[in-house]
Amino acid sequence: MRILLIEPYYTGSHKVWADGYKKYSRNQVELLTLEGRHWKWRMHGAAIEIAAALNCKYKTENVPDLFLVSDMIDLTTLKSLLHKHIAAVPVAFYFHENQLSYPYTENDTDSKRARDFHYGFINYTSALASDQVFFNSKTQMDSFFEALENLLKRMPDYNGIATIQALKDKTSVLPLGIDYSTNHPEQEIQKIKEKISNEHPTVLWTHRWEYDKNPDDFFAALTLLSEQGYAFNLAVLGAKSPKPPRIFKAAKDLLSGHIVAYGKPDTYSEYIAWLHVADILPITSYHETFGISLMEAIHCGVKPLLPNRLSYPELVPCHTHPDLYYKDQDDLIRKLKEYIDSFNKKSPTSPTTSNLQHLSQPYSWEVMHDTYDDILEKLVKTMK
Protein backbone atom coordinates (compact mmCIF):
# COMPACT_ATOMS: atom_id res chain seq x y z
CA MET A 1 0.00 0.00 0.00
CA ARG A 2 1.21 3.51 -0.86
CA ILE A 3 0.74 6.19 1.80
CA LEU A 4 1.55 9.87 1.42
CA LEU A 5 2.11 11.35 4.88
CA ILE A 6 1.44 15.10 4.74
CA GLU A 7 3.10 17.01 7.57
CA PRO A 8 2.68 20.81 7.30
CA TYR A 9 4.65 21.40 10.54
CA TYR A 10 7.74 19.28 10.09
CA THR A 11 9.64 19.82 13.32
CA GLY A 12 9.77 18.51 16.88
CA SER A 13 7.40 15.68 17.73
CA HIS A 14 5.64 16.07 14.37
CA LYS A 15 8.90 15.33 12.54
CA VAL A 16 9.84 12.46 14.85
CA TRP A 17 6.43 10.87 14.26
CA ALA A 18 6.55 11.22 10.48
CA ASP A 19 10.13 9.97 10.17
CA GLY A 20 9.45 7.07 12.52
CA TYR A 21 6.42 5.77 10.68
CA LYS A 22 8.17 6.08 7.32
CA LYS A 23 11.15 4.14 8.69
CA TYR A 24 9.25 1.26 10.25
CA SER A 25 6.05 0.82 8.22
CA ARG A 26 5.74 -2.29 6.05
CA ASN A 27 3.96 -0.05 3.55
CA GLN A 28 5.50 2.42 1.13
CA VAL A 29 5.37 5.73 3.02
CA GLU A 30 6.41 8.98 1.35
CA LEU A 31 6.59 12.37 3.10
CA LEU A 32 5.34 15.72 1.87
CA THR A 33 6.31 18.40 4.37
CA LEU A 34 6.55 22.12 5.08
CA GLU A 35 8.91 23.73 7.57
CA GLY A 36 7.76 23.71 11.19
CA ARG A 37 7.25 27.42 11.85
CA HIS A 38 4.50 30.09 11.82
CA TRP A 39 1.83 27.69 13.07
CA LYS A 40 -1.08 30.08 12.60
CA TRP A 41 -0.12 30.70 9.00
CA ARG A 42 0.21 26.96 8.47
CA MET A 43 -3.38 26.57 9.63
CA HIS A 44 -4.49 29.08 6.98
CA GLY A 45 -2.01 28.84 4.14
CA ALA A 46 -0.49 25.36 4.15
CA ALA A 47 -3.46 23.94 2.23
CA ILE A 48 -2.74 26.15 -0.78
CA GLU A 49 0.92 25.13 -0.97
CA ILE A 50 0.21 21.44 -0.39
CA ALA A 51 -2.62 21.38 -2.94
CA ALA A 52 -0.38 22.90 -5.60
CA ALA A 53 2.29 20.31 -4.86
CA LEU A 54 -0.19 17.42 -5.04
CA ASN A 55 -1.81 18.63 -8.26
CA CYS A 56 1.62 18.87 -9.85
CA LYS A 57 2.94 15.60 -8.44
CA TYR A 58 0.01 13.42 -9.48
CA LYS A 59 -0.57 14.75 -12.99
CA THR A 60 1.29 11.87 -14.54
CA GLU A 61 1.67 9.24 -11.80
CA ASN A 62 -0.87 7.18 -9.95
CA VAL A 63 -2.25 8.67 -6.76
CA PRO A 64 -1.41 6.95 -3.45
CA ASP A 65 -3.87 4.69 -1.66
CA LEU A 66 -4.12 7.01 1.35
CA PHE A 67 -3.27 10.47 2.57
CA LEU A 68 -2.22 10.52 6.25
CA VAL A 69 -2.49 14.20 7.16
CA SER A 70 -1.24 15.90 10.32
CA ASP A 71 -3.43 18.49 12.04
CA MET A 72 -1.69 21.80 11.25
CA ILE A 73 -3.69 22.36 8.05
CA ASP A 74 -7.16 23.30 6.80
CA LEU A 75 -8.22 20.03 5.19
CA THR A 76 -11.44 21.46 3.74
CA THR A 77 -9.49 24.03 1.75
CA LEU A 78 -6.94 21.44 0.71
CA LYS A 79 -9.55 19.05 -0.67
CA SER A 80 -11.41 21.85 -2.46
CA LEU A 81 -8.26 22.80 -4.38
CA LEU A 82 -7.30 19.29 -5.50
CA HIS A 83 -8.01 17.83 -8.91
CA LYS A 84 -10.98 15.48 -8.75
CA HIS A 85 -9.02 12.23 -9.00
CA ILE A 86 -6.67 13.36 -6.20
CA ALA A 87 -9.46 14.59 -3.93
CA ALA A 88 -10.97 11.09 -4.10
CA VAL A 89 -8.03 9.59 -2.18
CA PRO A 90 -9.09 8.57 1.38
CA VAL A 91 -7.78 10.81 4.16
CA ALA A 92 -6.80 9.84 7.69
CA PHE A 93 -6.42 12.94 9.86
CA TYR A 94 -4.01 12.78 12.82
CA PHE A 95 -4.18 15.15 15.80
CA HIS A 96 -0.86 15.74 17.54
CA GLU A 97 -2.63 18.60 19.28
CA ASN A 98 -5.79 20.59 18.70
CA GLN A 99 -6.54 24.26 18.98
CA LEU A 100 -9.93 23.84 20.66
CA SER A 101 -8.52 22.63 23.96
CA TYR A 102 -5.10 24.30 23.83
CA PRO A 103 -4.63 26.69 26.79
CA TYR A 104 -3.98 30.09 25.21
CA THR A 105 -1.81 32.54 27.08
CA GLU A 106 -3.16 35.95 28.03
CA ASN A 107 -0.40 37.45 25.88
CA ASP A 108 -1.86 35.92 22.72
CA THR A 109 -3.36 38.72 20.63
CA ASP A 110 -5.96 36.45 19.03
CA SER A 111 -7.12 35.30 22.44
CA LYS A 112 -7.52 38.91 23.58
CA ARG A 113 -9.62 39.63 20.52
CA ALA A 114 -11.85 36.60 21.24
CA ARG A 115 -11.08 35.04 17.87
CA ASP A 116 -8.84 32.19 19.03
CA PHE A 117 -11.71 29.72 18.42
CA HIS A 118 -11.15 30.12 14.67
CA TYR A 119 -8.20 27.75 14.67
CA GLY A 120 -10.22 25.21 16.61
CA PHE A 121 -12.98 25.56 14.05
CA ILE A 122 -10.47 24.69 11.33
CA ASN A 123 -9.64 21.54 13.31
CA TYR A 124 -13.36 20.74 13.52
CA THR A 125 -14.13 21.13 9.83
CA SER A 126 -10.94 19.30 8.89
CA ALA A 127 -12.02 16.36 11.01
CA LEU A 128 -15.46 16.43 9.35
CA ALA A 129 -13.84 16.36 5.91
CA SER A 130 -11.65 13.34 6.69
CA ASP A 131 -12.52 9.67 6.41
CA GLN A 132 -10.94 8.67 9.72
CA VAL A 133 -9.71 10.75 12.66
CA PHE A 134 -7.01 9.79 15.13
CA PHE A 135 -5.88 11.40 18.38
CA ASN A 136 -2.59 10.52 20.03
CA SER A 137 -4.26 10.06 23.44
CA LYS A 138 -7.70 9.54 24.92
CA THR A 139 -7.16 12.64 27.04
CA GLN A 140 -6.76 14.80 23.98
CA MET A 141 -9.69 13.18 22.20
CA ASP A 142 -12.01 13.71 25.17
CA SER A 143 -10.90 17.32 25.68
CA PHE A 144 -11.43 18.04 21.97
CA PHE A 145 -15.02 16.81 21.97
CA GLU A 146 -15.81 18.59 25.23
CA ALA A 147 -14.44 21.87 23.88
CA LEU A 148 -16.16 21.34 20.52
CA GLU A 149 -19.57 20.88 22.10
CA ASN A 150 -19.06 24.02 24.21
CA LEU A 151 -18.03 25.98 21.12
CA LEU A 152 -20.93 24.86 18.93
CA LYS A 153 -23.46 25.61 21.65
CA ARG A 154 -22.33 29.24 21.51
CA MET A 155 -23.34 29.54 17.86
CA PRO A 156 -26.63 31.41 17.16
CA ASP A 157 -28.29 28.80 14.92
CA TYR A 158 -27.54 25.78 12.68
CA ASN A 159 -24.78 25.04 15.14
CA GLY A 160 -23.85 21.57 13.89
CA ILE A 161 -24.27 19.79 17.22
CA ALA A 162 -25.71 16.83 15.32
CA THR A 163 -22.34 16.31 13.61
CA ILE A 164 -20.56 15.48 16.85
CA GLN A 165 -21.80 11.91 17.14
CA ALA A 166 -20.98 11.14 13.51
CA LEU A 167 -17.53 12.57 14.09
CA LYS A 168 -17.06 10.46 17.21
CA ASP A 169 -18.05 7.36 15.25
CA LYS A 170 -15.07 7.76 12.93
CA THR A 171 -12.61 8.83 15.63
CA SER A 172 -10.26 6.70 17.72
CA VAL A 173 -7.02 6.82 19.69
CA LEU A 174 -3.77 5.97 17.92
CA PRO A 175 -0.77 6.68 20.19
CA LEU A 176 2.49 8.05 18.91
CA GLY A 177 5.26 5.66 18.01
CA ILE A 178 8.77 6.32 19.34
CA ASP A 179 12.06 5.23 17.80
CA TYR A 180 14.27 3.96 20.63
CA SER A 181 16.89 2.51 18.27
CA THR A 182 19.33 5.41 18.81
CA ASN A 183 19.03 5.39 22.60
CA HIS A 184 22.58 4.29 23.41
CA PRO A 185 25.02 7.11 22.49
CA GLU A 186 27.88 5.78 24.62
CA GLN A 187 30.44 8.45 23.70
CA GLU A 188 28.10 11.33 24.54
CA ILE A 189 27.11 9.63 27.80
CA GLN A 190 30.72 9.31 28.84
CA LYS A 191 31.45 12.96 28.00
CA ILE A 192 28.58 14.13 30.19
CA LYS A 193 29.59 11.86 33.06
CA GLU A 194 33.08 13.33 32.96
CA LYS A 195 31.68 16.88 33.24
CA ILE A 196 29.27 16.48 36.16
CA SER A 197 29.41 15.01 39.63
CA ASN A 198 27.53 11.76 40.18
CA GLU A 199 27.51 12.29 43.94
CA HIS A 200 24.18 14.09 43.67
CA PRO A 201 21.08 13.34 41.56
CA THR A 202 20.53 15.15 38.27
CA VAL A 203 17.08 16.71 37.93
CA LEU A 204 15.79 17.09 34.39
CA TRP A 205 13.63 19.53 32.41
CA THR A 206 12.86 18.24 28.89
CA HIS A 207 9.94 20.34 27.70
CA ARG A 208 9.52 23.31 25.39
CA TRP A 209 10.26 26.58 27.17
CA GLU A 210 6.61 27.59 27.20
CA TYR A 211 4.05 28.67 29.80
CA ASP A 212 1.82 25.62 29.24
CA LYS A 213 4.57 23.37 30.60
CA ASN A 214 4.28 25.29 33.89
CA PRO A 215 7.95 26.11 34.54
CA ASP A 216 6.94 28.35 37.45
CA ASP A 217 6.03 25.43 39.71
CA PHE A 218 9.02 23.39 38.54
CA PHE A 219 11.57 26.08 39.33
CA ALA A 220 9.76 27.19 42.49
CA ALA A 221 10.16 23.69 43.92
CA LEU A 222 13.84 23.49 43.05
CA THR A 223 14.55 27.01 44.32
CA LEU A 224 13.03 26.11 47.68
CA LEU A 225 15.11 22.94 47.85
CA SER A 226 18.23 24.91 46.99
CA GLU A 227 17.51 27.49 49.72
CA GLN A 228 17.13 24.63 52.20
CA GLY A 229 20.53 23.25 51.29
CA TYR A 230 19.58 20.24 49.15
CA ALA A 231 22.31 19.16 46.74
CA PHE A 232 21.38 18.29 43.16
CA ASN A 233 22.38 18.89 39.57
CA LEU A 234 19.94 20.51 37.16
CA ALA A 235 19.82 19.96 33.39
CA VAL A 236 17.41 22.41 31.72
CA LEU A 237 16.93 21.02 28.22
CA GLY A 238 14.09 21.40 25.72
CA ALA A 239 13.57 23.83 22.85
CA LYS A 240 13.52 27.55 23.63
CA SER A 241 10.53 29.52 22.40
CA PRO A 242 11.07 32.94 20.78
CA LYS A 243 9.90 34.60 24.00
CA PRO A 244 10.35 32.07 26.81
CA PRO A 245 8.70 32.75 30.18
CA ARG A 246 10.81 35.05 32.34
CA ILE A 247 11.23 32.36 34.97
CA PHE A 248 13.88 30.66 32.83
CA LYS A 249 16.23 33.64 33.04
CA ALA A 250 15.49 34.09 36.74
CA ALA A 251 16.10 30.39 37.43
CA LYS A 252 19.43 30.53 35.60
CA ASP A 253 20.59 33.05 38.19
CA LEU A 254 18.88 31.56 41.24
CA LEU A 255 19.99 27.99 40.49
CA SER A 256 23.34 28.73 38.87
CA GLY A 257 25.16 26.57 41.43
CA HIS A 258 23.11 23.55 40.37
CA ILE A 259 22.83 23.98 36.59
CA VAL A 260 24.95 21.58 34.53
CA ALA A 261 23.12 22.11 31.22
CA TYR A 262 20.99 25.01 30.01
CA GLY A 263 19.39 24.98 26.58
CA LYS A 264 18.50 22.52 23.86
CA PRO A 265 21.33 20.05 23.15
CA ASP A 266 23.04 20.43 19.79
CA THR A 267 22.13 16.91 18.67
CA TYR A 268 19.48 14.32 19.43
CA SER A 269 22.23 11.92 20.53
CA GLU A 270 23.37 14.43 23.13
CA TYR A 271 19.79 14.83 24.33
CA ILE A 272 19.40 11.06 24.72
CA ALA A 273 22.75 10.93 26.53
CA TRP A 274 21.40 13.37 29.12
CA LEU A 275 18.42 11.08 29.64
CA HIS A 276 20.79 8.21 30.41
CA VAL A 277 22.72 10.34 32.88
CA ALA A 278 19.79 12.08 34.58
CA ASP A 279 18.00 10.59 37.58
CA ILE A 280 14.64 12.26 38.07
CA LEU A 281 12.11 14.09 35.89
CA PRO A 282 9.55 16.20 37.78
CA ILE A 283 6.73 17.22 35.43
CA THR A 284 4.45 20.15 36.24
CA SER A 285 2.73 20.72 32.87
CA TYR A 286 -0.72 22.21 32.46
CA HIS A 287 -0.95 20.92 28.92
CA GLU A 288 0.22 17.68 27.32
CA THR A 289 -1.45 15.66 24.58
CA PHE A 290 0.85 12.63 24.75
CA GLY A 291 4.31 12.72 26.36
CA ILE A 292 7.15 11.62 24.09
CA SER A 293 9.86 13.08 26.31
CA LEU A 294 8.37 11.27 29.33
CA MET A 295 8.42 7.91 27.53
CA GLU A 296 11.95 8.50 26.26
CA ALA A 297 13.11 9.38 29.76
CA ILE A 298 11.49 6.30 31.28
CA HIS A 299 13.04 4.14 28.57
CA CYS A 300 16.46 5.51 29.51
CA GLY A 301 15.96 4.85 33.23
CA VAL A 302 14.87 8.25 34.56
CA LYS A 303 12.35 8.29 37.40
CA PRO A 304 9.35 10.56 36.67
CA LEU A 305 7.32 12.52 39.22
CA LEU A 306 3.95 13.21 37.66
CA PRO A 307 0.79 15.22 38.32
CA ASN A 308 -2.35 13.10 38.23
CA ARG A 309 -3.79 14.80 35.17
CA LEU A 310 -3.56 15.10 31.37
CA SER A 311 -2.30 12.06 29.46
CA TYR A 312 0.12 10.85 32.15
CA PRO A 313 -2.20 8.27 33.77
CA GLU A 314 -2.68 6.74 30.31
CA LEU A 315 1.06 6.25 29.93
CA VAL A 316 1.93 5.45 33.56
CA PRO A 317 -1.05 3.86 35.33
CA CYS A 318 -1.34 5.59 38.69
CA HIS A 319 -3.04 2.63 40.37
CA THR A 320 0.05 0.47 39.77
CA HIS A 321 2.64 3.22 40.24
CA PRO A 322 1.26 5.58 42.90
CA ASP A 323 4.80 6.44 44.05
CA LEU A 324 5.40 8.21 40.71
CA TYR A 325 2.54 10.69 41.27
CA TYR A 326 2.23 13.73 43.50
CA LYS A 327 -0.98 15.39 44.74
CA ASP A 328 0.01 19.05 44.78
CA GLN A 329 3.02 21.37 44.94
CA ASP A 330 3.75 20.54 48.58
CA ASP A 331 3.66 16.83 47.79
CA LEU A 332 5.99 17.35 44.82
CA ILE A 333 8.48 19.13 47.06
CA ARG A 334 8.20 16.41 49.70
CA LYS A 335 8.85 13.64 47.18
CA LEU A 336 11.78 15.51 45.66
CA LYS A 337 13.31 15.91 49.11
CA GLU A 338 12.86 12.22 49.86
CA TYR A 339 14.44 11.24 46.57
CA ILE A 340 17.42 13.56 46.96
CA ASP A 341 17.97 12.46 50.55
CA SER A 342 17.90 8.78 49.65
CA PHE A 343 20.14 9.33 46.62
CA ASN A 344 22.74 11.34 48.51
CA LYS A 345 22.78 8.77 51.31
CA LYS A 346 23.07 5.97 48.73
CA SER A 347 19.91 4.52 50.25
CA PRO A 348 17.85 1.91 48.38
CA THR A 349 14.58 3.25 49.76
CA SER A 350 13.54 5.30 46.73
CA PRO A 351 11.74 3.40 43.98
CA THR A 352 13.91 2.90 40.92
CA THR A 353 12.89 2.89 37.28
CA SER A 354 14.89 -0.15 36.26
CA ASN A 355 11.61 -2.05 35.90
CA LEU A 356 9.67 0.64 34.03
CA GLN A 357 10.71 -0.08 30.45
CA HIS A 358 7.59 -2.20 30.15
CA LEU A 359 5.71 1.12 30.19
CA SER A 360 7.70 2.65 27.33
CA GLN A 361 8.18 -0.41 25.13
CA PRO A 362 4.58 -0.64 23.81
CA TYR A 363 5.09 2.76 22.15
CA SER A 364 8.19 1.64 20.27
CA TRP A 365 7.76 1.91 16.50
CA GLU A 366 8.90 -1.71 16.34
CA VAL A 367 5.57 -2.50 18.02
CA MET A 368 3.38 0.42 16.94
CA HIS A 369 4.00 0.20 13.19
CA ASP A 370 1.89 -2.96 12.98
CA THR A 371 -0.98 -1.17 14.72
CA TYR A 372 -0.73 1.78 12.30
CA ASP A 373 -0.41 -0.45 9.25
CA ASP A 374 -3.33 -2.67 10.22
CA ILE A 375 -5.66 0.26 10.95
CA LEU A 376 -4.74 2.21 7.81
CA GLU A 377 -4.91 -0.83 5.56
CA LYS A 378 -8.37 -1.59 6.91
CA LEU A 379 -9.47 1.98 6.24
CA VAL A 380 -8.35 1.81 2.61
CA LYS A 381 -10.14 -1.52 2.11
CA THR A 382 -13.41 -0.14 3.47
CA MET A 383 -13.19 2.88 1.17
CA LYS A 384 -12.90 0.83 -2.01
Kindly give, in sequence order, each residue whose CB lies less than 8 Å from that of residue 156, ignoring residues fewer than 6 positions away.
none
Angle between helices 292-299 and 268-277 (to 10 degrees): 60
DSSP letter for 361, please: G
As to burial, measured by CB atoms within 10 angstroms (0-12 exposed, 13-18 middle, 19+ buried), residue 286 is middle
Rounded to two decimals, what is the model's pTM? 0.91
Q: Mean pLDDT per segment of 10 residues, for the chain of length 384 residues? A: 98 95 98 96 97 93 94 98 96 96 61 64 97 97 96 92 97 97 86 89 96 96 97 94 93 96 93 95 96 95 96 96 97 96 68 72 96 98 90
What Å distances lie between residue 290 and 121, 176, 208, 313, 376, CA to CA?
Answer: 22, 8, 14, 10, 21
> Which residue, 336, 341, 331, 275, is CA-closest to 307?
331
Please choose, from the candidates 374, 244, 351, 234, the residue with its C-alpha nearest in 3D space to the C-alpha of residue 301: 351
Count CB atoms within 10 A of the CB of residue 375. Answer: 14
Domains of the chain with CATH codes: 2-178+364-383 (3.40.50.2000), 186-363 (3.40.50.2000)
Distances (CA, A) of 187 to 198, 200, 217, 236, 259: 17, 22, 34, 21, 22
Q: What is the DSSP letter of 66?
A: E
